[in-house]
Amino acid sequence: MLIKMMKHIVMATYVTIVVMLLLLVAPALSGNSMAWPLQYDYYSSSCPKAEAVVRKTTEEIIAGNPTMGAAFLNMFFYDCFNQGCDASLLLDPTEEEPEVEKSWMPKHLRAYDAMDKIKAAVEAVCPGVVSCADIIALAARDSVTVSGGFSFPMPTGRRDALVSIAYDDDEPPNPNFMLHSLIDIFAIRGLDVDDLVALSGAHSFGISHCTDVIGYPTFAWNSTFADELRRVCLPRSRYGEMGPVLNNNRVTDPNVLSNQYYSNVLSGRVLFLSDLTLLSRNDTAAKVAYFAGNPLAWKAHFAKALVKMGGVRVFSGTDGEVRKVCNATNN
């Protein structure tokens, strides 16, 4: 009897989470940042198994290397924030286009080979149907399911870019940015302050590098945490070795996506200036505190913001193409 009761409680909680996510995610489609052709179940007729294949392959990759969950989200973020959610980030340089996004993106982006693997799996089922841009978006969503324990629908219908611009006029956020710069960069892409705070929760998992933390104002950090960072990073900096450091998460599994990030921000145990700066304004500080104490609310807002981000500057309809391989155009 007790086991049955527990099962009912778990199922009720899961249903509550799903309903809340659906209620918050669906309106994101009506915003200006989401192009009209993007829709749920876009491949239901042309490739019914597409999302299942992406999910299975993504799960296998993360099972083999749990840090890849963060890598998939990172790839989606950088792709959308430069040229748009168009898989331009995946294009290799050519003789005609020697300078592409990949040339100047952070060296720690690690999901390139994984994207090729997922694309190959999808092509084996439905050749020439599913875009690399959609694969990036779906893999990011599925990494949230695997690493964060919650799922939500991700609209599809994106097309792949024909070119990759190495230096976009709109610089994507970096760990040095203060709050006003972050807000401006998000606003240019149709994302608001709530989206900024919610998406920052992705810093709860993954790894970073000493290059992103050296020289930051340690007076704003937790003193014990600051000492830890100095012990790890300063010896390396003297010899030009700027290796990886643990992420913001110091309480739970560093490969788990969760709202623990917000408690870490409040206690000053975070790696980036862009994390600490969320406390520099009353409204963002209040949102940090709210998410720290309300994991379900954060999950819902994170899902909504990720879907909204996935509609930034997309190609759709007959624009762009559906690449046969993700690192090169079809011509």
Binding site for heme b: which residues? 203
CA dist 94 and 102 (Å) reads 12
CA dist 89 and 81 (Å) reads 10
CA dist 301 and 310 (Å) reads 14
Binding-site sequence positions for Ca(2+): 79, 84, 86, 88
CA dist 269 and 246 (Å) reads 11
* C-beta contacts of 245-251 below 8 A and 24+ residues apart: 245/207, 245/208, 245/209, 245/210, 245/213, 245/271, 246/207, 247/70, 247/203, 247/204, 247/205, 247/206, 247/207, 247/208, 247/271, 248/203, 248/204, 248/272, 248/275, 249/204, 249/205, 250/225
Binding-site sequence positions for substrate: 173
Binding-site sequence positions: 79, 84, 86, 88, 173, 203
